[in-house]
Structure formats: structure tokens, C-alpha cells
Structure 1
């Protein structure tokens, strides 16, 4: 067993690519085909990787790319998107992840990016680094035999079948229009589009290749699965720009023949239940996080988005990992924020992770206070902050990374 002192952190080179893939395959329990590995290498270039090395063996890894993500107010922010975090099972509990993250975050600070985001495979690791769940979603199962639409639900039509190749230009256009207005959604770079349309076998989970249904203002991609003599329709991606497109696409998906269940991931505020006479037909299988976030620069991040309520308060922010904490005066007028360090007495106190939880609008400040995550000296300040961080729509992850 190697000692912690024998491990060094360095930037990766092209010569490390095979060892990095081997570590990730071991850590995540999968195998990458050559095509998928090549496309992932374009999406997250090895030159952006940091590796932990013990002797001549790579035992830890992280990689990042700069992403453009929508924040409340239909604004966009440049963020560090971290991926591929893995430590060899032979080198756990040696402080390797902390060393990797120390180097990773130092680089992000040098790049002057106000936000770091990632999709996490485990939920107990990242709080100590100042992260919290920033977007949540429901995985639902729907019995189409119970999915009767209300008389008030429109039937606008306009949906057609298409192959993935035929639908590709439309999908790109709809996604880009959707991404610009949805908090939490990232611009999808060309390398991700190539990976998306490659429809990699490993990502099918035993299901078919992708089917597409399109509407002038939306699209849905789905697979068919056959398990234990039951047929499931699994929605892979659903994007709708209007309520009519949303209703029209769901009417088609829930009207498919020879389907025992329809599975999908939907946003916290998705109106699907309200379209049906029996809201229990939409059964929640899992409620969980889809994105984690950490504020790297509190004033820069808080002034990048807009707000729904005026605020004039002082926040005390504890950063357990880096030096982004402090005491800040936050003032919001007509949706626009000013934030700067202050020596005034704090009215609200919490870890920097709390701001990550609030940032896109997935969580309420009042709930975090009730959960003892925010210490409140002034209840009126909490009410104002709670109202300010609410959003017109729930945030959604644009693409998994």
C-alpha cells in the first residue's frame, strides 16, 4: 500500500490517455468503446486533466472544461465544468481527492470563473469542498392505461415521427432556444453533439437505438426496452418551448401501442400531472440531484444572475475548502444585485454550499434555514432572501457530463 506522500499531482499529457481511461473504467464500472473514448477525448481534452501519480501509475484523475450555463434572468455565466473524477480503489482515504481538488480549484480561480459545476455519482463526498445540490429532478414511471388526459388539456397536434438523422437540425435548434431560457442548462458544444448523435451502444442500457418525435416547438427522444415480458418506453431527452408542444408530445408518448410503462426524468415543476385526470398515474420512482454547484467568487456569481425580490442584507459565508468566504453586503433592487465585502454585522450565516443550493433556484432559503443550514439573526432578511432567489421556472440540467 502506497503512502500519501508518495503521490504527486500533475497535469496530464497525451501519453496518459490510456491509463486515464483504464482508471475511469475501473472507477465507474464500465467499458468505453474506441469511438466513445475518442469523442469523450474531444469533449474533455486530456490536456485539461489533472492526475495523481504513484510511482509510474495513475491513481487519481479529474478533468474540466469551461461551460456556458444559463442563470436566472436568462443570463449566461462561464463556469468550470468538472468531470471524470476518480481515485483508484487501492488508494482510497489517502487525501488524493483533496489534493486533486486543491489543484483543480486553484486553476479555476486563476481562470477567474465564478462557478464550478458537475454531475456527481455519490452524494456524501462534495459538501466538504463547498458544493451542494443545485438542480433536482424526478424520475417518473407512468402507466399509459391510466394516463387519461383531462378535457381541458389541449390536443394541438403537429407531432411527426423522424429518424435521428432527419431530426438532428431541428433538435439542435430547439435545444439552443430552450437552453437560453432555462436556468442550469448549458450550451452543448460540438463535441457533445457528436457524442449525442452517435447514440453509443453502452448508453442504451439494453434498449433500442433512439426514436424521435418532433413538434415545431419541441422534440422527444426515446428508447424501447423489453424486460421480464414487459415493454417500457424510456424518454431519453424531452424539450418543449411551449405548453402546446409539451402537451402534444406527451399525448403521442403516452399513446404508443404495446407499452406497459413510460419512464422519464422531469423537472420539479413539470405540469405533466396536471394534464391527466389521475395525477397518481405519474409515479415518482426517484427524486434526486442532477447538478452540483460551488461559488468560486461570491460577489461575481451573485451579481451575474437576477432576482425576483428586493434584498438588503449582510451574509456571513464560511468556506471550508478555499478562501471564497467572508462577510458580504447583498443589495438587490429591481432584480439587479450589488455584492461586496463588508465589516457590518451579518444577518444570515451559512456555508458557501448553501449559496450553491440556492443559486439556480432549486431550493428555498426558508427550507435551508429550517434544516439548520442558515443561521438567522433577522427573520425579515430571511424572508426577503427566500423570495429573491425563487425563479419563474425550475432549473434543469442541459446535458450530463
Structure 2
């Protein structure tokens, strides 16, 4: 078989490698000086990290010599593969290094090493051998660049898997109402920066999409809306913890399209991650009871499903309806409860209610407006009327207000 005349003979490569080996000390010294001068971030590293980075650069120079020598012993002159180069150049450092400097900074280090080697070629080898060594440097730089990308890719995969497990633990602690001193620090490790305004959004997990894609989409949408997000899949439900929100419904709208088909509910805004279990509990209860209101908007507040939650056995919803709806209407005169009960009995007829109570119809209208002002629920709206009726029943059953025989 004919050989390419441009390909160097193995004995030439070995001879050039020996010449470069004798100059490796000077090249390493020059590389250190270049790092101090041209890379401001290098001076900001700790002594230990500077040692790691220096070791990588020096190893890169020394291993170019070894790579060139190894090329002389391979049939095609190709030298070691990328995996072998990664092991030789990075040694025991990749795990530590990947967390200290960025991939961009690592590429800059590789470029610096190659520049230093190239700058010493003309002074180290004969002029007729210089083009051969320059070609070898370019080939070596390409191989090391690919090896570096592989190292960082493996580190990113490992970090991604760890982050996913940590995120699942944080969300699970919120759902289980088990906040502890480590909850916020774990969330901070995942990029959580919010100190208040937390709401939990819950709905069906999407089909035909991987969890990682969904989670990344949720985080990106939340960041666009000025919020933080933690995600987890619990069974067939996707749970999103939003931080830095003031309006729970507005926050839920920013991520609602990442959920699967069916209802999406959001709990109330709480003061921080430590109290987020309150929002999670309300969202979970509302999601379970949401089948009772198939026409509900998407997303819907857990507060808007109080009636369904109470009918499903949620004690917190029952207490809320009694304390936040029934008792405020049961003032000293109790005219609002009396009027509301009579209005329901009359089928929502103002005139019939007025006749039953022996008052003017305008008095009935005035009292109904008071009901809306006190509770935030408008009796003339079907959904609000349903919730008010459930609140009246639960209030009477609670025994926390005197019972009027007329009711």
C-alpha cells in the first residue's frame, strides 16, 4: 500500500517528541505566567483551585508530548483516543474542576496551552520540522477539546440527576408538611431565591413528554414571569411550587400550559417556603374535589372550590366556610343570615323574600349587597349562591351560632 508522503515517519515523531519533552519545563513556566497575566479569574481562585487549574495546563503540555510519542507507535499515527486523552489531561480533577471553572474558561485554558506550545515550536525544533509539529498541535487541540466537552457533559448529567432527586425531596417535604431547617438551603442549592409569596399549582402530568423537558419549560416560564419554580411528579400529578408570586392565579396562568388535560388548581399564596404546605394542602384537596365542578376555569383557585372540598370531606374547607362566611353573617341582629335563607327559600325572588320577611324589596336588595361585601360571594351568581348555601348548612351544623327556628 502506498503511503501519503505528507505523513511523517514514526521515527520522526519520536525524535520531535523528545525535543519537545526537553522544552516542556520552559513551556509550563510560560503557561503559568500567561494565566496570571491574561486570565483575571485565575487570580481570584483559592490556592487549592489554582493548583488544580495549573496542574491541568501543565498536564496538557506534557501530555501533548506523550501524545506525539504515542502517535509514533500507532499504525496510522492517530495517537490515543479522546477518552484516553481526557483521563491523561484531567486525571483526578474533573469532578472538582467542573464545579470550579466554567466550560468557557476551560476552553480558554486549552487555547492558552496550545498557544504556548506553538510559540515554542520554532525555537525547539528545526525549521524543516516546524510545519509537522504545528499540524500535530492543531490535531491534538481538537482531540482535547472534544475530550473536555465529554468531561463537562458527564459532569452535567451527574449534576442534573442529583438536582432532580434533590428537587423531588424538596417538593415532597412541602406536600408532606415537613418543613425543617434544611428545606430552604436545599431549595437555594437548586436556584431558589424567593423569600416570600409561595403558591402550589397542581394538575395532571402531561403525556408524551419527559419530566426533564416539562420541568425546564416550567422553570423558564416562571423566570419570565419573575418567579422561581420547583417541580415534581407525584403519581399522575404534576406539582409546581412557585416562589416570588403575589397573585396565585396569575402565577398559575404562567405555567398552566405545561400540565396535562383536566383541572389545574392553585393554592393560596403563603408567606414562604416553610409555610408552603398550607398552599399544597389546599391545592391537593381542591384537585381531588374538582370533578364536582367540571366547568371550572383552568386554572382555578382552591378557594373557588370550597363547596366541593367541603362535600368531599375536607375539614379545613368546612371550617373556612363556617368561620369566613357563616359567622361574619351571623351578627348581633342576624338579619343577613335570615334574609339569605329566606331568599334561597323563595327561589331567588326578591319580592317573595320581602313578603316573607315583611320588609321592602329594596331592603332585601340592600342586605344581599351586604352579604357580598362581607363574604366576597354574590348571592345572585349561581356559583357563589351554591357556596353560600353550603356555608349556611355547615354553620347551622357547627352550633357556633344560635339557631333561629325560622331558619
TM range (shorter): under 0.3
Using the size of structure 2 for normalisation, the TM-score is 0.23
More strand by share: 1
Higher relative contact order structure (alpha carbons within 8 Å, sequence separation ≥ 6): 1
Larger Rg: 2
TM-score if structure 1 supplies the norm length?
A: 0.24
